[in-house]
Amino acid sequence: MGVDVTVDKLKPLPGDAPDNAEALERYERDFQSHGQVWGEILQKNFERLSKGSYSLHWMNGEANGWGSQKPKISSRGLTYNDVNRVKGTGEIEEVSTWKSFAPRGSIRDPYKNMMPVLESYDVMHKYDVWSDNVSPLYEEAKARQWNATRDIPWDELGDIPEDLAKASCQLSTFLSEVEFAAGDFPAKWLYRIPQDFLEVKSFLATQIMDEARHQEVFRKRALMGGGLMHASPGFEWALKSILDAPNHVMGTFLLNLLGEGLVLSIFRSGEMIAKTHTDKEIFRLCMQDEARHVSYGVLQFKYYLDNHPNRPQAEEELHRFADLGEQIILTAFSEATVTEPVAILLGGGLKHIDAGMDGLGKLWTVFIEEYLQRCDRAGFNRRARCTIPAQFPWGGMIAA
């Protein structure tokens, strides 16, 4: 019987399995189209090896200043900023001309015509991705990684009233829904950024990991509290608009400066929203991650505006985009799946939801002011054109 089982496993795949023949043929065609280049490399290598000779050309590093200068280790250890002080490694051109994997600062010019060209590398202007704080943020991200499996006091969650439990699970479901999409955006752009902007690529990789961990922790929180609740159509449209943004800068504005900025404000309100020590720890740890993402978004936006060759045109395009983006985000953050659970948690129960909505109204003014302050810091005066109401559109009585 054991043999029969093994044979059964070796049967052909079902007829409806994906057919990769066309994709494979296209890959073979593309590969052979560059056959002369890599074929010459292979032939040269085999001729040398068959003769028992060595090249040793790679030992000639003097042309690149090999051995003339070494990085000085700072008090934090050996950071990107430390190694970038070595001549030839830290100078970042405003426009990258390299569409290969060759590291910035390496001896690569002699081999340019032999290297493959990665057409996916199309974000070639530094101002499209750079921020002056990206290297310190990368160091912070590495130092402050945490584990949603063991660093959260899950055993201290305890029992809370059903209305508060459902509100907590709904908020966690919403956050689980948005966090992975917040990782999809940097992932979408990561492979389009050339190696010359390696600091940005490194930081975006940490952001992807952060968002994966946030999705994990809120999914676990919902399931530990009773179960996953309802998805949010309004937020689905907001997430799609982020992924569909015309360029990296606009998407970064919508995600990091506006969307994650509002989520950061929610996390900062964790002491009022959280009803257990477990929830407070989750909000505290997620808050430190979101703060990095928002900080990058603000200074990346600022760098773009400060270095764009036609700032007035760039600002007007960004204002047009913000006119739409703010309405999309407003649609998302007015969803019942977000506002009502937060109100119940703020009020302390379903019977106090009106008081909670009044409290949310007060927080709303803080949220929007923080958003406008981030725009101010980036040099993007959005106050006169902001389409998000400064007052929460709640018909209840909100105390002054």
The reply to whether 364 falls in a domain is: yes
pTM: 0.90
Give the model's confidence band at 278: pLDDT under 50 very low, under 70 low, under 90 confident, else very high: very high
Rounded CA-CA distance 329/331 in Å is 5
Mean pLDDT confidence for 157-166: 95
Q: Is it the case that residue 2 has pLDDT exceeding 50?
A: no
The reply to whether 341 falls in a domain is: yes
Task: List residues bridging with 95 in a β-sheet.
Answer: 125
When the pLDDT of each residue in the chain is averaged and rounded to a whole number, the result is 91
Q: What's residue 16's pLDDT?
A: 57
Residue identified by tokens 């409290």 is 359
CATH number at residue 304: 1.10.620.20
The reply to whether 37 falls in a domain is: no
Q: What's residue 34's pLDDT?
A: 81
The reply to whether 203 falls in a domain is: yes
Out of 8-12, 36-40, 189-193, 209-213, which region has the weakest mean confidence (pLDDT)? 8-12
Predicted confidence (pLDDT) per residue in 211-249, tens digit? 999 999 999 999 999 999 999 988 888 899 999 999 999
CA distances from 188 to 205, 208, 226, 245, 259 (A): 11, 10, 34, 11, 17
Q: Are 151 and 284 in contact (CB under 8 A)?
A: no
Domain that holds residue 231: 126-377
Percent share of the chain, pLDDT over 70:
94
The reply to whether 266 falls in a domain is: yes
Predicted confidence (pLDDT) per residue in 340-387, tens digit? 999 999 999 999 999 999 999 999 999 999 999 999 999 999 999 999
The reply to whether 25 falls in a domain is: no
- DSSP string covering 43-90, please? HHHHHHHHTT----GGG--GGGTTTT--PPPBTTBS-HHHHTTSTTTS
Q: Count of domains in the chain? A: 1
Q: Which of 169, 176, 177, 180 is nearest to 209 (CA)?
A: 180
Is 13 or 261 the better-scoring residue by pLDDT? 261
Percent share of the chain, pLDDT over 90:
73
The reply to whether 52 falls in a domain is: no
Is 376 or 4 the better-scoring residue by pLDDT? 376
The reply to whether 77 falls in a domain is: no
Q: Is it the case that residue 399 has pLDDT exceeding 80?
A: no
